[in-house]
Structures are given as structure tokens and as C-alpha cells.
Amino acid sequence: MRALRIAALTIGTFAALVVLAWLTEPEPLPANSLSTTRLQPGPYRVEVREFTWVDATRSTPANAAYRGAPDRTLAVSLWFAADLEVAHPLLVFSHGLMSSRAGGTYMAEHLASYGYVVVAADHPLSNLRAPGGPDYHDVVNQPGDVSYLITHLLALEPSQRPFAGAIDRSRIGVFGISRGAATATLTAFHPVWRDPRVAAAISIAGPGDVFGARFFDHAAVPFLMIAGTADAIVDYELNAAHIPARIRDGGLLTVSGATHAGFTNVTSGWLRLLGNPDDIGCNAASAADIPERSVFIGLFGTAEQGLLEPSEQRPPCAVRYSEVMRAGRQQMIATLAVRAFFESRFAPAAQARARLHAGHEEMT
């Protein structure tokens, strides 16, 4: 009898998992579509390694009860293709406020299966478990974190690298979600904080109202913004709609009905059952007492540097959307767009770059 109960429990658990997977998975794309083909994993087996790296040249500021530290300690994840001895493009992912380096896992795994090395770190004071609580203001130190990750990886001797091959110094890109998107934008273009080794940048659901046309003139870096029209946290019209008029090379991918939190990996599982993922994000921001955007005037720089005052017309979470895209579907779109954009700049063959660049221009 006990064996029957265990068997029934096992079957019931399995059935529940099947139902849960069915409820949370997005509607598949047409089987014969190009998008379905490009969403398939690449030819290389992906491995991931976890590290703790310490940047002893920079300090971590005090934060509430946290007294700070003389260095910046970074918990790091590294995704790469196993046994692929080539010169790899390097991509650095930055997470959003109250998130973690795992926020872009679905994109990192996909990119690594096509030969990219992808690295992400928990930024010391903006991650979910930051000492003293997640702090927006430390975003000014995060471009330095990105530069440190690039420098550390480039400095590794062949025997120290967990991946075969080397990093191609001419093919280094940055991307991020939300405040991590701001980090990527600052790392690519800021007149003081930018890293000249960065050759392409993507902002996913990132702020754009503070970055004027003069700001983007500081570097000739291709730039793509990916934004959703149902983003309750970073308003689309105020932050994304004007980007094409301010940049010289790149564009804007508008995802109709996409939310803010739907781009993060955390919404890949059972949390999808709770409905609009931005409701969770807005409630978390409210509980954490995230300050209004007016606090951040001048945080990134001056008007002479091309920085603008943040918009006050519509504070985060002032508008909630009822009709939104499933998180899984917008993650499919983000995966397609991120890989297409980076390949349009980093594909080894010039012909492939031209073809992908033309497709990217049509998409944006």
C-alpha cells in the first residue's frame, strides 16, 4: 500500500510538472520559420563556470548599514563553447537592480552555443542580495566592473582559461537589462567611464531619457535598444521612442506588448503563472523604497557631456498594463535580436555580417 501511495505521488508530481510546463511555455513559432531555425541551439556544447574575482584597484562604497570595502568582489558566471579552439567574441552582460548575473542566462547559453564567450557578474551593491540592500546609485561604478571583467579575461594565460582558444580583442560587446542596460550604455559611450575596447552595445528595457544625442557622439559604437510598449517600469515613449533620432549607427527594436521584467531569466519558470511580471517588479520596488527618478539628476554626468535631466512626466509603475505578451515569447524575440545584432558586427565572414546587418536594418 505504501508503495502504491509513493507511486501515485510520483505520478501526480510528474503530471503537475507537465501541466506547469505547458502553462508557462509560450506559443511556439511556426515550425518552418527562419526564427524557429535561428532559435535552435548552436553546434557547440555549452559549459559554465563560476568564479569569485576581486578588483583590488577599486573600492565598494558604504551602503546603509554596510561599511563598504577596499575592493570590489564580483561573483562571476562564464559561459563558453566546449573544445572550440578559435578566437572568440566576448560579450559582457549586466543585470538590473534587485537582480543577479543569472538574469540573462537564456541569452548567454544561446550565444555560447554559437561560439561566444559570455561573462556576467553580480554588481556588488545593485544585486538582489547586496549588503545594505540594492542601491541604484552604485550604477556609476558598474562600467568599471565591466572593464575589470574584460581586462581580467584578456589577461588570462592559455593555461588559466577554462575555454579553449583566446578572446578576439576586436570583437567585444556589452549588453544588459534595465539598470544593467544603463551600465552597458555608459560603458560604451560615457566620456569618462567608457571602455574603448567595446565595439557594440545593446540596451534591453534600459533608460534612454537621460542620454542625449551629444552623449552618443562620444564613441562610434553600434547601438541597439530593445524595448517593450507595455513596460511599466521604464516607460517606452519617454525612454525608447526617441533613440533612433539620437544615435548614428544602430536602431530600436520595439516589441509590442512586452513588459520590463519579462526580459529577465527569473520569469522563465513558474513565476509566469502570476500574470504580468511587471506587477511583481513594481511591488518589489515599492517594498524596497526605490527613490523617484528626480534623485538621479546629474548622477551620470553633466549637460555638457550630453546627459539630460530624467523625465518626470510619468514615474515608474504609474501605469499598469493588462494586455501583455508572454515573457517566454519576448525572451525568444530578445534572443533572436541580440544574436542577430552582435553577429551583424562580429561574424567572422564579411558576407555574413552584411547579410545580418541588412536583416537587422529591416527589423529595426
How large is the angle between the packed helices 350-363 and 327-346, nearest 10 degrees? 140
The C-alpha cell that represents 185 in the structure block: 550604455
Per-residue pLDDT reduced to its tens digit, 296-333: 568 999 999 999 988 766 678 888 888 899 999 999 99
For residue 319, CA distances in Å to 200, 232, 259, 275 come to 32, 6, 12, 16
The pLDDT of residue 17 is 30
The predicted pLDDT at position 294 comes to 47
Instruction: Specify if 56 maps to a domain.
Output: yes
Task: Name 51's bridge partners.
Answer: 76
Q: How far apart are CA 43 and CA 280, in angstroms?
A: 36
Residue 129 lies in a domain: yes
Q: How far apart are CA 193 and CA 140, in angstroms?
A: 8
Report if residue 8 sits inside a domain: no
Q: What is the pTM of this model?
A: 0.88
pLDDT-derived band of residue 342, with 50, 70 and 90 as boundaries?
A: very high
In this structure, are residues 268 and 327 in contact, taking their beta carbons and an 8 Å threshold?
yes
pLDDT of res. 271? 58
Q: Is residue 10 part of a domain?
A: no
Which CATH number belongs to the domain containing residue 169 in this structure?
A: 3.40.50.1820
Classify 182 as helix, strand or coil: helix
Query: What would the pLDDT profile of 39-66 be if each residue is shown by its tens digit?
Result: 999 999 999 999 999 999 999 999 999 9
- How far is the C-alpha of 144 from the C-alpha of 150, rounded, in Å? 10
Q: CB atoms < 10 A from the CB of 286, how many?
A: 11
Range of lowest pLDDT (110-119, 173-182, 243-252, 268-277): 268-277
Between 131 and 24, the more confident residue is: 131
Give the residues across from 60 on adjacent strands: 69
Q: What is the DSSP letter of 28?
A: P
Among residues 141, 267, 237, 149, which one has the least CA distance to residue 192? 141
Three-class SS of residue 351?
helix
> Across the chain, what does the average pLDDT equal?
87
> Is 209 part of a structural domain of the chain?
yes
pLDDT(360) > 80: no
- On whether residue 30 sits in a domain, the answer given is no
Q: Is the dihedral of CA 255, 257, 260, 266 positive or negative?
A: negative
How many domains, the chain? Answer: 1
Residue 311 lies in a domain: yes
Domain of residue 278 covers 42-363
The pLDDT value recorded for residue 350 is: 52
Instruction: Give the least confident one: 14-23, 212-221, 222-231.
Output: 14-23
pLDDT mean over 76-88: 96
Distance of CA 72 to the CA centre of its chain: 21
Check pLDDT > 80 for residue 353.
no
Lowest mean pLDDT among 212-216, 221-225, 327-331: 327-331
Q: What is the mean pLDDT of residues 214-243?
A: 96
C-alpha grid cell, residue 239: 525612454
